[in-house]
Amino acid sequence: METVSSLAQLRQQVKQWRKQGLTIGFVPTMGNLHAGHLSLIDKAKQHADKVIASIFVNPLQFNDQIDLNAYPRTIEADIAQLTQTACDIVFVPDVATIYPEGMTKQSKITVPDIGDRLCGAHRPGHFDGVATVVTKLFNMALPDVAVFGEKDYQQLLLIKKLVHDLNMPIEIIGAETHREQNGLAMSSRNQYLSAIEQTTAAEIVQTLLEIKQRLEQGQGDFTAICEQAKQAIEQKGFEVDYIEICREADLMPAKSEDKALRILIAAQLGPARLIDNMACYLA
């Protein structure tokens, strides 16, 4: 595996592969890699001849400077882990490579509707930052397919819409969420939690499972179900940003006739903002 930090170097390798008729799979990350990320690399390799991963902590998608500064940066350990995978190139640009004119002068991408709700409403500017950096990284890596984790389900749908709306010839593939033994979705932010908080954090997935069960039992008052779940989990020490039952296809609030649903939750536990989601298909 090669580590590349300059855009010129990346472009040269991509050009060579394209000339050889090889397809490219891409996995953008912000580093601090865990088993969930590594599974995205495997998935990319199933769909393409060559795999590029990127590691870039994107300042444009952080609406909180303290959060950005605290974000774990473990580049050497990340590269060591990637060497054990099917990754061919890891692209590790610095901020000046991605934003040479600075972030305020950068043209931005806004994905309407889906970008405004849920995490978009709670983290102003976040999804513009994601859409902008992903567009730039796509234009740098020129992939045929790109893989994103379902843990960030709203991000996955947002990228699908972005690619569709801007006619990018890239297939976006979602990959299943990796979980700890207690069910907690793997996330770089889990390491902010104490051992006790990590146990408590599993309440998030329990809450999703309980809501799913209620829906499958035919309970149809979505607002009441979410409000009760919110009260229950807040008693366990969480501060809830949202718990919502949405249409899986576009994350608009679900109506009683909808059958393909996603239950989504975002909540603060101590120092960490945790998000998770679960599919629910009604007969």
Tell how strand 24-29 and strand 50-55 pair up. Answer: parallel
* Pairing mode, strands 2-4 and 24-29: unpaired
Contact 111, 166 (CB under 8 A): no
In the block, which residue shows the tokens 């010839």? 169
Nearer to ligand PAF, 119 or 204 (CB): 119
Burial class (CB in 10 A: 0-12, 13-18, 19+), 18: middle
Smallest gap from residue 55 Cβ to ligand PAF (A) = 9
Within 10 angstroms of residue 261's Cβ, the number of other Cβ atoms is: 21
Q: Does 61 bind ligand PAF (CB under 6 A)?
A: yes
Site string for ligand PAF, 21-60 (x = CB under 6 A): -------xxx---------------------------x--
Q: How far is the CB of 154 from ligand PAF (least distance, A)?
A: 11
Residues 63-122 that bind ligand PAF (CB under 6 A): none
Whose Cβ is closer to ligand PAF: residue 134's or residue 264's?
Answer: 134
Q: Which is nearer to ligand PAF, 13 or 58 (CB)?
A: 58
Question: Using CA atoms, how far apart are residues 266 and 111, in angstroms rounded to an integer?
Answer: 20
Piece of the chain touching ligand PAF by CB under 6 A; list 126-134, 139-147, 215-223, 258-266: 126-134
Sign of CA dihedral 158, 164, 168, 170: positive
Active-site residue, from 37, 122, 126, 164: 37
Among positions 4, 10, 87, 130, the unique one binding ligand PAF when judged by CB under 6 A: 130
DSSP 8-state secondary structure symbol assigned to residue 201: H
* Spatial distance between the Cα atoms of 161 and 21, rounded to a whole number of angstroms: 27
Contact 23, 34 (CB under 8 A): no
E strand residue ranges, 16-72: 24-29, 50-55
Cα separation, 276 vs 20, in Å, equals: 40
- Report in angstroms how near the CB of residue 217 gets to ligand PAF at its nearest: 34
Tell me the two tokens of residue 239.
Answer: 């501060």
Question: Minimum distance between the CB of residue 58 and ligand PAF, rounded to whole angstroms?
Answer: 4
Q: Let me know if 37 is a catalytic residue.
A: yes
Rounded to the nearest whole angstrom, what is the least distance from the CB of residue 232 to ligand PAF in the complex? 29
Site mask, ligand PAF, residues 141-180, x = CB under 6 A?
-----------x--x-------------------------
> What residues are annotated to the active site?
37
Site residues, ligand PAF (CB under 6 A): 28-30, 58, 61, 130, 133-134, 152, 155
